[in-house]
Amino acid sequence: MNDMSRVEREVDTNEIKLECRDCQVYYGDTHAIKDVNVDIEDKTVTAFIGPSGCGKSTFLRCLNRMNDTIDVARVEGSFRLDGEDIYDKRVDPVQLRAKVGMVFQKPNPFPKSIYDNVAYGPRIHGLAKNKAELDEIVEKSLRRGAIWNEVKDRLDAPGTGLSGGQQQRLCIARAVATEPEVLLMDEPCSALDPIATAQVEELIDELRSQYSVVIVTHSMQQAARVSQKTAFFHLGNLVEFGETGQIFTNPVDPRTESYITGRIG
Amino acid sequence: MTDASMQTPETGRHSVSLTATDAHTRKRANAEKRFRAYGIAAIATGLFFLVVLFTSILSEGIPAFKRTVISVDFTLTEAQRTEAEGELFKTKAYSNLFIAALKSELDERGLNVAVDEAAIERLLGKVGGTIRTFYSDNPDKIGEPVAFDLTASSRVDGYFKGRVSRDTMQDSRFLQKSDLDLVDALEEAGIVKQAFNWPFITGADSGVDNPGGAGIGASVVGSFFMMLVVLGLSLPIGVAASIYLEEFAPQNRFTDLIEVNISNLAAVPSIVFGILGLAVFIQFMHLPQSAPLVGGLVLTLMTLPTIIISTRASLKAVPPSIRDAALGVGASKMQAVFHHVLPLAAPGILTGTIIGLAQALGETAPLLLIGMVGFVARGYPDGFLAGFTEPNSAMPAQIYTWAARADVGFYEKAWGGIIILLIFLLSMNIIAIILRRRFERRW
Amino acid sequence: MPILWLFLIVIAIAAVGYVLGRSRALQSAGGDSRNLHSLPTFYGANVALKTVVPAFGLLIIWLLAQPLYVNSQISGMIPDTAIKEGSSHSLVMAEVRRTADGLDNAVAQGQIAETEARDAQADAADMTQRLKDAGQVVTSEITQPVLRAAQGYRVMTASGYKIMSIAVIVVAIAGAVFSLFQTHSEYRARNVVEQGIRILLLGAASIAILTTVGIVLSLVFNTWEFFKLYPATDFFFGKTWAPSFSGRGGSSSLGILPLLWGTFYISLVALLVAVPIGLFAAIYLSEYASPKVRAFAKPLLEVLAGIPTIVYGLFALLTVGPLLLSVFGDDGLGWMKAGTAVMTAGLVMGIMLIPFVSSLSDDIINAVPQAMRDGSYGLGATQSETIRQVVLPAALPGIVGAILLAASRAIGETMIVVLGAGAAARLSLNPFEAMTTVTAKIVSQLTGDADFASPEALVAFALGMTLFILTLGLNIFALYIVRKYREQYE
């Protein structure tokens, strides 16, 4: 499988899924994101790296309008998903988030059964006509989340009772159950131990075959392991964006180099 | 794991544009709107109730601050006085003099109505007695004109306030239909007037058949003495208990027991505290019934949990670094607490105490059981110490007493009493808010 | 007021002791306070504390113990023959105390001379008449044994107070002198004083326990008296509530069931009003409202919680009752006979409980972690879907706890039901009928004319006991649930 992905990495000619131009974000009076331009490609893992507080998570939350839930946040610029402006007044953020799913830093399963956790998205979006279809979606999602074999015998057990790594994979399964096109991941492994991290990273690599994945990470090694494209943020600016291999071996900007070699950040 | 990559992604739903809404999304958007509307409706209902409550308090209560007076300029000559004092029925003679004066005043303005003694008595009560007392107290006023403002009876007052109407009233010994003609004429002549009801604010309770004369002043004094007891006991005890629990208490079962007791006492129904007061203070310790002292003791026990809870919160808000600083220069724990922590927590403690007092001021149920109702507080206490032990009423108890009386004239007084009570509560809460704003410290 | 004087005398001794202690300490250090172990004020405080604390301790214990002792002595003086048919020992004792109080008052007013009041030859019938003339409340003819007992009671009480005054002053002086002798430069006054203050603080904190003990004892003791006069099974399972008004008759039926039913019915109506409104208001304020709306609506709603219950009572009696009557009464739908009814009291109580439910629910909804909401929004759920399917289920235990606390408030509420619910005890399903509650009957049984020792008055304590246990149980259960819930998210 690893061979296959390496092959894909070389022949990377995917179309652009999400196009961001001149993006600005303000928190009250603070200018948190300045003039960011990024193209997120389809069927690609894009990593956002940078020192903490550099705005990478803030920018990620712009991509499915999660910042709408924060009163003081204000977003400007153009964000186009398949050519459509996601900040258009006519766009229902609810529909957008069904297309652009999100996985969070800390595993946050709902205090419900494993089954209900996964079935939640399909239920609210009306994806299943009947119970059998819903069962099918749940099973498929749990398989995609690479957790099916661990939980298939206890679907009624509460999702909060799983281990941290299992909880995070459950959250990924929950996110893919709504059939998103883009999957945003906000430091999905920061709360996990190394073994669980490896499992999730492997899963991310598999998800790439169907989804465009954007992952925020504070670990450069992780970015290097899972992503094809990398964007480096610093103090709210996008410093450098390009092929992962190139960023890590031959960065253009001196700040990127300083960060990668551990001098800042 | 392979099955994930084997399946082709379903693309049917995804071809839909973001801006196009399908039926399902519309349904969900509508559900969202409905849910939001329920929330707004709930808040609107709550605020509506608040508005209704205050409207009825104000509309029913404000008339209590007005009274109907009949003002007549009256001159008594020395000769008239000697003559009246010589009669067998002295007050009747004074009455007749007054009626004569009233008649001449009416005639002056060209109004012709029958004025008889019985009608005047129904309108003004025993007017002769009032006049006689006035002149025996102020003999120097004899011979010069004096403007008398005489309070009209409760029924006449009700006629002006809409409580009594020509169509619904029935003739009784209190008021007859023909009297209303006289009242109308007097009003036309400008003799009947509406005046501010000072006697309501300063006066004491009246008998059950005289709603017009009832005042709330004496029970305000009763409440005042009760609050003195509550303040004098609950503040020191509450602060001492909080300091112990917050700063000194070891982690043991006894401390846990105290904590559990405080949180449970905060939720015990107030009537149970009334039972406690009755059984312990009155039956067992034989303290005087209806005394503000006993009321204050009961309310102290009720208020303590509130004060302890808020005091502990303000002590907790003082950062440990302050204690460390004091201990660091060699102060004892006690000195650290009393010299540094307590003064810093004082504004918070004061705010909590005022709010606790406001709660105690409005509490009624326990007062019923220790005999503060049914008792008619006829006057002010004789002195400061007697204020604690002499039977008296308290504002809420007085309001309850009026509400429970049969004569509807008292209802107006009850509403009026509520306005006074709420003014007290409002000012206490405003003081608490100002204190909090002024002295609040963010660490 | 001799106790006040006693109080002031002890304070005065303490003040003198303070000054003496301070100067003696300075003297022993040769006038240089640096040679003292503690600051001079601590030596003064040491003397003052040791004067005041034992003296006041003795005073309080004496005041509590003396009535008990005198009562037991006097009730031994009453022969069994003096207890009439249908009466009891405690009833006679109540009469003795009343007679003694009457004598005290009459002496104080100068209508009866002290020697006459003490006269062992005094005739009971004559004394009754003179007491009645003096305006003292004496319910019936005073019998000879009762008069003797009353006279004995007065003498014992008076001499008891005299001995107490002397003892308290002696203890105060002894404490002062003892601690003055202790005072010298080496004495660790600060440690002793601080230890003493610590014990006083502990004492203040223990008042909470004393209050609970006082409540439980006064309830248990009087309930026990009641069950001696009236069978417990009839009380707990009786379906009728019909106390006789004479206060002495044995024909009362005192069954608690109709009262409990009224209590529960009114509380239920109140919760049906308060819970939906309070809960939705809390949801809106915490999830939807802009900070401006929140800053405006939340305090306004909480005003409802700050209004005294007597105001709500009057509102029920004079505004809501007549309003409901005009709609459901004979002029309207014909379901309602009078303004006071379950519906009236329940509705008004519901209004009172709205802010209680809403602020508790607000806290609980805010305690649900934001990550939960983010997870749901990230999946494309709308806000209402998030609230209904994620936030509320997560907050459910806490909300149940809040509702139970509100229920306990409703059950213990007094003024609204006294004024708004009516006085008739009945087991009926019609919410437009007047019913009555446990709290309302506690008030009416204890504020009536019934003698404190009669079952008609004592039943109030049994009702109070039931109420206390009921609300305490609900509270403990609710607090347990809420605490469990909080721990889940900490």
Are the C-beta atoms of B77 and B143 separated by less than 8 Å?
yes
pLDDT at B405 over 70: yes
Interchain pair B24, A124: CB under 8 A: no
Interchain pair C378, A102: CB under 8 A: yes
**CATH number assigned to the domain comprising residue C330:** 1.10.3720.10
Cβ contacts of B33 on chain A, cutoff 8 Å: none
Distance of CA B201 to the CA centre of its chain: 12
Interchain pair B279, C222: CB under 8 A: yes
Q: Is the dihedral of CA C479, C482, C485, C486 positive or negative?
A: negative
Torsion of the alpha carbons at C372, C374, C380 and C382, rounded to the nearest 10 = 70
pLDDT at B376 over 70: no
Tell me: do C191 and C315 sit in the same domain.
Answer: no
Tell me: do C344 and C441 sit in the same domain.
Answer: yes
Closest by CA to B95, choosing from B123, B126, B128, B117, is B128
pLDDT, mean over chain B: 83
In the DSSP assignment, the letter for residue B341 is I
Question: What pLDDT sits at residue C26?
Answer: 87
pLDDT at C369 over 50: yes
Q: What angle do CA B292, B295, B300 make, to 5 degrees?
A: 120
Are the C-beta atoms of C463 and C441 separated by less than 8 Å?
yes
> How close C284 gets to chain B, by Cα (Å)?
5
Q: Which residues contact A29 (CB under 8 A, 6 or more apart)?
A: none
Residues forming beta bridges with residue B149, ordered by sequence position:
B71
Cβ contacts of A140 on chain B, cutoff 8 Å: 3, 7
pLDDT values of chain A reduced to their tens digit, one per residue, 265 residues: 444 444 444 445 678 888 999 999 998 888 989 999 999 998 899 999 988 888 888 899 899 888 887 778 889 999 998 888 888 888 888 888 888 989 988 888 888 889 999 999 898 888 888 899 999 999 999 988 888 989 989 999 988 888 888 999 899 999 989 888 899 999 888 888 888 888 889 889 888 888 899 999 988 889 999 999 999 998 889 999 999 989 888 888 898 888 888 876 6
Closest by CA to B98, choosing from B81, B74, B115, is B74
Tell me: do C259 and C143 sit in the same domain.
Answer: no
Question: Which residue type is seen at C76?
Answer: G
Question: Which residue type is seen at C479?
Answer: L
Interchain pair B25, A143: CB under 8 A: no
Tell me: do C268 and C162 sit in the same domain.
Answer: no
Cβ contacts of A95 on chain B, cutoff 8 Å: 18, 21, 25
Interchain pair A96, B1: CB under 8 A: no
Interchain pair C379, A101: CB under 8 A: yes
Q: What are phi and psi of B114, to 5 degrees?
A: -75, 130
> How close B319 gets to chain A, by Cα (Å)?
29
Distance of CA C129 to the CA centre of its chain: 38
Give the three-state DSSP class for B102: helix
Q: What's this model's pTM, rounded to 2 decimal places?
A: 0.83
Cβ contacts of A81 on chain B, cutoff 8 Å: 18
Residues forming beta bridges with residue A73, ordered by sequence position:
A27
Place of tokens 């800042």: A264
Are the C-beta atoms of C432 and C412 separated by less than 8 Å?
no
d(CA C252, CA C247): 9
Question: Which residue type is seen at A137?
Answer: I
Print the domain residue range for C102: 2-214
Per residue in B246-287, pLDDT tens? 999 888 899 989 988 998 898 899 999 999 998 888 887 778
Does residue C225 lie within any of the structural domains? no
Are the C-beta atoms of A85 and A78 separated by less than 8 Å?
yes
Q: Which of A29-33, C107-111, C211-215, C468-472 has the lowest mean pLDDT?
A: C107-111
> How close C207 gets to chain A, by Cα (Å)?
42
Q: How many CB atoms lie within 10 A of CB A189?
A: 25
Given a contact as 3+ CB pairs under 8 Å, which chains touch C?
Answer: A, B
Closest by CA to A49, choosing from A208, A246, A244, is A244
Q: What angle do CA C260, C261, C266 make, to 5 degrees?
A: 100
CATH of domain A2-260: 3.40.50.300
Does residue C245 lie within any of the structural domains? no
Q: Which of B1, B3, B14 sits opposite A179 (nearest CB)?
A: B14
pLDDT band for position C225 (50/70/90)? confident
pLDDT band for position B4 (50/70/90)? very low
Q: Which of B393-397, C169-173, C197-201, C426-430 has the lowest mean pLDDT?
A: C426-430
Find, in chain A, the residue whose alpha carbon is nearest to that of B32.
Answer: A94
Tell me: do C57 and C172 sit in the same domain.
Answer: yes
> How close B199 gets to chain C, by Cα (Å)?
22
Q: Which of C201, C279, C412 sits opposite B271 (nearest CB)?
A: C412
Closest by CA to A155, choosing from A133, A125, A135, is A135
What long-range pairs does C252-255 form, CB within 8 A, spacing at least 24? Answer: C252/C455, C252/C456, C254/C230, C254/C455, C254/C456, C254/C459
Per residue in C292-322, pLDDT tens? 998 899 989 989 988 999 999 999 999 999 8
Does residue C103 lie within any of the structural domains? yes
Q: How far is CA C294 from CA B296, C103, C281, C286, C373, in A?
A: 37, 64, 10, 8, 20
pLDDT at C348 over 80: yes
Per residue in B305-345, pLDDT tens? 999 999 999 999 998 888 888 888 888 888 899 999 999 99
Closest by CA to C409, choosing from C306, C275, C267, C261, is C267
Are the C-beta atoms of A177 and A138 separated by less than 8 Å?
yes
Place of tokens 């007052």: B157
Interchain pair B53, C382: CB under 8 A: no
Domain boundaries, chain B: 30-62, 65-196, 217-439
Closest by CA to B360, choosing from B441, B421, B283, is B421
Question: What pLDDT sits at residue C190?
Answer: 87
State both tokens at C371.
């990550």
Cβ contacts of C287 on chain A, cutoff 8 Å: none
Tell me: do C393 and C261 sit in the same domain.
Answer: yes
The H-assigned helical ranges of B116-213 are 117-124, 127-137, 154-161, 177-188, 198-202
Are the C-beta atoms of A115 and A175 separated by less than 8 Å?
no
Q: Which of B29, B60, B361 sits opposite C318 (nearest CB)?
A: B60
CATH fold, domain B217-439, is MetI-like fold (1.10.3720)
> How close C289 gets to chain B, by Cα (Å)?
9
Q: How many CB atoms lie within 10 A of CB C301?
A: 25
Q: Which of B258, B267, B368 sits opposite C209 (nearest CB)?
A: B258
Give the three-state DSSP class for C51: helix
Tell me: do C107 and C197 sit in the same domain.
Answer: yes
Q: Which of A30-44, B111-125, C18-32 has the lowest mean pLDDT?
A: B111-125
Q: What are phi and psi of A81, to 5 degrees?
A: -100, 115
Cβ contacts of C479 on chain B, cutoff 8 Å: 263
Place of tokens 């504020």: C447
Domain boundaries, chain A: 2-260
d(CA C33, CA C185): 9
Per residue in B172-200, pLDDT tens? 767 777 777 777 777 777 778 788 888 88
Strand order in the sheet with A30-41: A84-85, A73-81, A16-27, A30-41, A237-243, A229-234, A45-49, A212-216, A182-186, A100-103
Q: How many CB atoms lie within 10 A of CB B306?
A: 21
pLDDT at B117 over 80: no
Tell me: do C207 and C298 sit in the same domain.
Answer: no
Q: Which of C373, C379, C394 sits opposite A175 (nearest CB)?
A: C379
Per residue in B11-63, pLDDT tens? 444 456 777 777 888 888 899 999 999 999 999 999 999 999 999 999 988 88
